[in-house]
Amino acid sequence: MTSPNLVLLYVEDPARSAQFYERLLGRPPVAAFPTYAAFTFDNGLHLGLWSTSARDFVSGGAGHRSELSFMVDDDREVRRLYEAWTALGVPFEQAPMTAVFGLTFVALDPDGHRLRVCMPDK
């Protein structure tokens, strides 16, 4: 079976978004073009940032209907990332709170994409 290995986020300005994610993730993009930027993670997942103004971009959808989630080992790491992202000036949609699956928070990228930090489902 083929496994998903790329998450695409549609963005207004790929350069601005790449700069945001480079600061957030502590790594540079592996590709950067005027209408697209990409990051690769140690676990093999890729993150693509695709410009909504690219001539080959086609989408009839509107709004953000998904989240990019970062699952961490424990509550302490959730809190540490919240403090680190706060220091970077990242905006938050949801402060740390305990959900049915544990401690979590939601940040926002420059285009309003939801970035959730939480622990793995158990």
In whole angstroms, give the CA distance from residue 102 to residue 81: 15
In a domain, 96, yes or no: yes
3-state secondary structure of 51: strand
In a domain, 1, yes or no: no
What are the mean pLDDT values of the chain's consecutive 10-residue runs (122 residues total)?
84 96 97 95 94 75 76 96 98 93 93 92 71
In whole angstroms, give the CA distance from residue 64 to residue 4: 20
- Mark whether 71 and 114 lie in a shared domain: yes
In a domain, 112, yes or no: yes
Cα 55 to chain centroid distance, Å, stands at 24
In a domain, 56, yes or no: no
In a domain, 59, yes or no: no
- Mark whether 45 and 78 lie in a shared domain: no
In a domain, 58, yes or no: no
Query: Which amino acid would we find at residue 49?
Result: L
In whole angstroms, give the CA distance from residue 115 to residue 75: 17
**Structure tokens belonging to residue 71:** 């699952």
Domains: count for the chain: 2
7 neighbors 49 (Cβ within 8 angstroms): no
* CATH number of the domain that residue 15 is part of: 3.30.720.120
Q: What is the pLDDT of residue 122?
A: 66
Domain that holds residue 20: 6-51
Q: What is the pLDDT of residue 33?
A: 94
* CATH number of the domain that residue 112 is part of: 3.10.180.10
Q: What is the pLDDT of residue 63?
A: 64
- Mark whether 45 and 76 lie in a shared domain: no
111 neighbors 17 (Cβ within 8 angstroms): yes
The length of the chain is: 122
